[in-house]
Amino acid sequence: MSAPTAGEIERLLGDPYDADNPYGFAAAVRRDEQDAFPEELCAALREAGFHLNYLPAEWGGRFESFEHSMVVVRTAARRDLNIMPGTMFGITAATCLALHGSPEQQKHVAEILGRGGAVGFALSEADHGSDLLANTVRLEPALDGWELTGEKWMVGLGRRCEALYLVARTGGRGPGAFTAVLLDLSADVERGPAVPTSGMRGIDFAHLRFDRLPVPGEALVGREGQALESVMKAQQVVRVMSMAGSLGCADTALRLTLDFASARHVGRTTVRESAYPRRELAVASAALLSADVTALTAARGIHVFPEVFSVWGCAAKHVVAEHTEDLIRRCATVLATRSVLRTEGPGDGLFQKLQRDAAIVRVVDTSTLANLRAYAAQLPTLGVSRGTRNRAASHDGSAPAHETNPQRRELTSRIREVFDLSEPLPPYTPEHLDLTARGNSPITTALFDIAPQAAAILTAQGDRTTAALTTRLTTALTQLTEDVATADRDTGLVDAADRFAHLHAATCCLLLWWANPTRPLFGAEPGDTRWLTACLAYLLARADGTDPRGEAPALLPALDITTELHARDQLFCVHPQDLAPHPEPAADH
């Protein structure tokens, strides 16, 4: 069985606007109202091989790249985010087992996941949240192996999973005190009732309790004390795929709002052409375009720079989640009362479900604060503006430093692998994931070599606005390094992590434009800077902590781009995918 493409998913699931379509928006709202699991939708996707998109070939899967899988998952999730937990919650356990599981354990889990079954992941505990080192569920030696005692909290698909990857305490203190086991679940495990959540309704998050549960010795995964290292690496992968869920929510929220704003008349004009709503939609469009670039380049970056993804993945996840929240809030302003209707309004009441689902996906792998803290501590050693100093030290004035320095030439070559969309990606190598970036920030380092070229090209084209934004970006990154040096180790570094994430995303936007001069991006002509201008203006405002509406003239072209893509029934992404045709919204006076 082959995994379907985004286009095949669209053809399979049909018109989402059709109220009678079991895979459409109205059906998603009906399930949400009933707290129902998307059985029929997930069954159709499993039958088509959708769930094979994240499983490697050696496990019987059809994984090609994170870039490919993200687009496919996002295309399906735009109809109902619940397809992700419904078909893909095994990705965390699978990634951990790929890192340190035995061949027998890998084969067992591959068989379960390959046929569409579920493997749970049990890490969190109610009393400790993201403070994993305080977890108390214990795995203690027994005559024939081990005994497991305690309760794990909010295990995804906890009531239906067939196996469970569980992290428990086997030692005293520190990260080395935790060990993983792979359990085949039986009647001896007490599965609590599904925990109601505001979003992702119908997905059974359940507490699992263990009272001296016998665990055979062969259930141990990897070495004793190795679990947290593998979990931290696996979460880098989960963050990549969680972005697909956020983008799916954002895509549909903007699409439904554009439908309403284009059909609704106020006086002699439409809502979309009225000044204030138009500005809100422009900000929302810029948020989505920049989130898309951030997610796309992260999905490619994990193939090329897995060793620095402990920072890159966290920054990208933060940006995409924040932008999705901002987009939905601004769309809600335009929709007004229709944004809170449960069964009426755009998408048969889907918008309010999107609001709740997006709030869940942003915390499903870790909290917002924990995600920022995960890389904030690395900022003092990261040297995000080190490129300025290195360039000054290695540049004799005859040629750019990245052309004369062998290490910088290699960096530029790898940067092109990420950002030149015609470049094939190297195979994904999870064994090269690391817990720290070891002071390396390749993207922001490359910026200081490439930004002057980009600014010169933009100026030569007469685009002084975007050239000026490019200069602002390099200045902001240099200032950030100086601020990090004096920041306090708690709130100061966390605030700096938020700024770094948005400046990292802005750098990704500039590098993507620079690396693809002859390629149409977002359906525009090759070299078009409208999307770049909007993304840089939006991201720099977010990094500065100012309201992006102050950049409205630079953001308005983003709305033109999303309007054009929507009219062509295409996904709001760098390389637009054709979607199922949607009906023209009826004019509403």
Residue 158, domain CATH: 2.40.110.10
Q: What is the dihedral of CA 375, 379, 384, 389, to 10 degrees?
A: -150
Structural domain for 19, as ranges: 6-114
Higher pLDDT pick, 4 / 258: 258
Give me the pLDDT at residue 1, please.
57
The DSSP line for 44-56 is HHHHTTGGGGGS-
What's the total number of domains in the chain? 4
Kindly state whether residue 289 falls inside one of the protein's structural domains: yes
CA-to-CA distance for 452 and 462, rounded, in angstroms? 15
Kindly state whether residue 510 falls inside one of the protein's structural domains: yes
CATH number of the domain enclosing 326? 1.20.140.10
Higher pLDDT pick, 403 / 408: 408
Among 209, 224, 239, the domain boundary falls at 224
Kindly state whether residue 588 falls inside one of the protein's structural domains: no
pLDDT band at 442 (very low <50, low <70, confident <90, very high): very high
Specify whether 39 is located in the same domain as 128.
no
84-143 pLDDT per residue, tens:
999 999 999 999 999 999 999 999 999 999 999 999 999 999 999 888 999 999 999 998
Give me the pLDDT at residue 393, please.
39
Give me the pLDDT at residue 2, please.
66
Give me the pLDDT at residue 583, please.
74
Kindly state whether residue 361 falls inside one of the protein's structural domains: yes
Whether the predicted pLDDT of 408 surpasses 90: no
Specify whether 241 is located in the same domain as 372.
yes
Residue linked to tokens 């990897």: 222
Longest Cα–Cα distance in the chain = 82
Specify whether 356 is located in the same domain as 386.
no
Among 345, 376, 407, the domain boundary falls at 376
Specify whether 237 is located in the same domain as 210.
no
Whether the predicted pLDDT of 395 surpasses 70: no
Handedness of CA 72, 360, 131, 225 (dihedral sign): negative
Highest mean pLDDT among 376-385, 407-416, 497-506 belongs to: 497-506
Q: Are 166 and 122 in contact (CB under 8 A)?
A: yes
Give me the pLDDT at residue 186, please.
74
Highest mean pLDDT among 2-11, 163-172, 359-368 belongs to: 163-172
Question: Mean pLDDT, to the nearest integer, of 506-527?
Answer: 96
Handedness of CA 245, 251, 257, 260 (dihedral sign): negative
Specify whether 237 is located in the same domain as 213.
no
Higher pLDDT pick, 33 / 2: 33
pLDDT band at 388 (very low <50, low <70, confident <90, very high): very low
Specify whether 421 is located in the same domain as 481.
yes
Specify whether 362 is located in the same domain as 282.
yes
CA-to-CA distance for 291 and 361, rounded, in angstroms? 15
Question: Mean pLDDT, to the nearest integer, of 26-30?
Answer: 97
Specify whether 58 is located in the same domain as 161.
no
Question: Mean pLDDT, to the nearest integer, of 194-214?
Answer: 93
Among 376, 411, 440, the domain boundary falls at 376
Residue linked to tokens 């239906």: 160
Specify whether 349 is located in the same domain as 460.
no
Question: Mean pLDDT, to the nearest integer, of 311-316?
Answer: 96
Kindly state whether residue 567 falls inside one of the protein's structural domains: no
Q: What is the pTM of this model?
A: 0.94
Give me the pLDDT at residue 267, please.
87
Question: Mean pLDDT, to the nearest integer, of 149-174?
Answer: 94
144-156 pLDDT per residue, tens:
899 999 999 999 9
Percent of the chain residues past pLDDT 90, beyond the cut: 84
Question: Mean pLDDT, to the nearest integer, of 561-575?
Answer: 97
Whether the predicted pLDDT of 389 surpasses 70: no
Percent of the chain residues past pLDDT 70, beyond the cut: 95
3-state secondary structure of 182: strand
Specify whether 404 is located in the same domain as 367.
no
pLDDT band at 502 (very low <50, low <70, confident <90, very high): very high
76 Ramachandran zone, left/alpha/beta (phi>0; psi -120 to 50): alpha
Give me the pLDDT at residue 489, please.
82
What CA–CA distances, in Å, run from 587 to 259, 265, 266, 270, 563? Answer: 10, 7, 11, 9, 17
Kindly state whether residue 565 falls inside one of the protein's structural domains: no
Residue linked to tokens 């936007």: 509
58-99 pLDDT per residue, tens:
999 999 999 999 999 999 999 999 999 999 999 999 999 999
Kindly state whether residue 290 falls inside one of the protein's structural domains: yes
Specify whether 144 is located in the same domain as 96.
no
CA atoms within 13 A on the CB side of 186: 8
Q: Which tokens in the block code for residue 416?
A: 């092109």
Please tell me the total number of residues recorded for the chain in this structure: 589
Kindly state whether residue 163 falls inside one of the protein's structural domains: yes
CATH number of the domain enclosing 106? 1.10.540.10
Q: Which residues, 6+ apart, have CB-to-CB distance to 202 below 8 Å? A: 31, 32, 34, 35, 36, 37, 38, 82
Q: How much is the mean pLDDT over the chain?
A: 92
CA-to-CA distance for 491 and 329, rounded, in angstroms? 26
Give me the pLDDT at residue 402, please.
53
3-state secondary structure of 165: strand
Specify whether 371 is located in the same domain as 414.
no
Give me the pLDDT at residue 407, please.
78
**Residue 329, number of CB atoms within 10 A of its CB:** 16
